[in-house]
Amino acid sequence: MIIEISKVSADGSVFEGEEDAALLDLTAADLYAPEGPIRYHLEARMVGRRLVVRGTVEVRLGATCRRCGCSFSTFSRESCFLYQYETREGQRDVDITPDLREALLLRLEPHPLCAPGCAGLCPKCGRNLNEGPCTCGPGDAPAGREWAALDNWSPHEPFDPPPSARR
């Protein structure tokens, strides 16, 4: 997406529209595939020689759940897109495409799940446990659930050692 500086007023100008999601450069090897165009609602203003662009960008994506294997649709949305660009005397436009791309890709979960509580597949019979329990009986942990405790783990939380490890 290219912003023409002549169209940007000092009070701010709104740029709204769509861009081809091909600019995300997602390939078949990626976990996500675009299901529609990139939509943007941005406000741009000149502060001195600096172009300030802020607003919302989003794209609808298809993904495959890492636990149950189902296909589902999701959004990558950055509602606090904020970038600044120094412009030179005589410069006509600014290409913000790389930043749109980065903002949307950074929002993607590295392990897509159809729902935060997806129950996954039974490791024995392969039944999708989201559709109900199977008859394999208790004692068989559903696939993927051994790591369920990690779902709520935040890398920003300090590690709390077990009491036995404390002095």
Candidates 7-15, 36-44, 57-65, 94-102: pick the segment binding Zn ion (CB under 5 A).
57-65
Candidates 108, 110, 112; CA nearest to 77 is 108
CB of 152 to Zn ion, least distance (A): 17
Q: Does position 119 bind Zn ion by CB under 5 A?
A: no
Q: Does position 65 bind Zn ion by CB under 5 A?
A: yes
Q: Does position 118 bind Zn ion by CB under 5 A?
A: yes
Q: Does position 124 bind Zn ion by CB under 5 A?
A: yes
Contact pick of 114, 121, 142, 144 for Zn ion (by CB under 5 A): 114
Contact pick of 5, 136, 143, 148 for Zn ion (by CB under 5 A): 136
Strand order in the sheet with 50-64: 13-19, 32-47, 50-64, 71-86
Candidates 13-21, 68-76, 80-88, 97-105: pick the segment binding Zn ion (CB under 5 A).
68-76
Report the DSSP pairing between strands 2-4 and 93-95: antiparallel
Roughly how many angstroms between the first and final C-alpha of the chain, as a whole number?
A: 58
Between CA 38 and CA 54 the distance in angstroms is 15
Look-up of token digits 């960008």: 57
Binding site for Zn ion (CB under 5 A): 65, 67-68, 114, 118, 122, 124-125, 127, 134, 136
